[in-house]
Amino acid sequence: MRHRDPGLTAYELTAEDVLVTCPSCQGCARVVVTSRTDEWLGSWPRRLVCPHCSLVQERPPRSGSAWGGATDPYFGAPLWLQGPCCGGRVLWAYNERHLSVLRAHVAAKLRERHPDDLGPSSMLERLPSWITSAQHREEVVRTIDRLQRRVPPRTRTGT
């Protein structure tokens, strides 16, 4: 199998709904973009919405964010799609698209860089080596498949 890096950044992945654990009821909530008026997508206003307990939290545009780790960069809520993998490490994803890109990349035996060679700005170029190691391929793919089953049906692509 072959996979070419699509050149996605973390910012682009969070332009879609980010699945998080609700800080109120611990159910699956979403961080959604409320307006796409600014050119820089990292500054778009966001809203955390929980369909289980009706929690709604607002984040104004251009407020700070913290990237890296298994939390939403805008509200700091734990990501819904995370799980143990490869000896106590945590594999995480923002949403179903993130899982799909990770799975395609990890499962591929031949991985090609983006044609524009974006270097470290590409999300896949920044993955830790334990995720991309051939030694861990099967376990990482199994973990991604397990996380895929946690995606609530209404957030699946096309529904």
Question: Diameter of the chain by CA atoms?
Answer: 45
**Inter-helix orientation angle 96-107/137-148, to 10°:** 160
* Helix ranges restricted to H, 85-134: 96-107, 129-132
Alpha-carbon gap, residue 1 to 145, rounded angstroms:
17
The string of pLDDT tens digits covering residues 11-39 is 889 989 999 999 999 999 999 998 877 66
Mean pLDDT of 135-143: 97
- Condensed to tens digits (0 to 9), the pLDDT of residues 64-76 reads 778 888 999 999 9
Question: What integer best gives the mean pLDDT of the chain?
Answer: 87
Query: Cα separation of 148 and 21, whole Å?
Result: 15
pLDDT of res. 38: 64
Structure tokens at 159: 């529904």
The residue count of the chain comes to 159
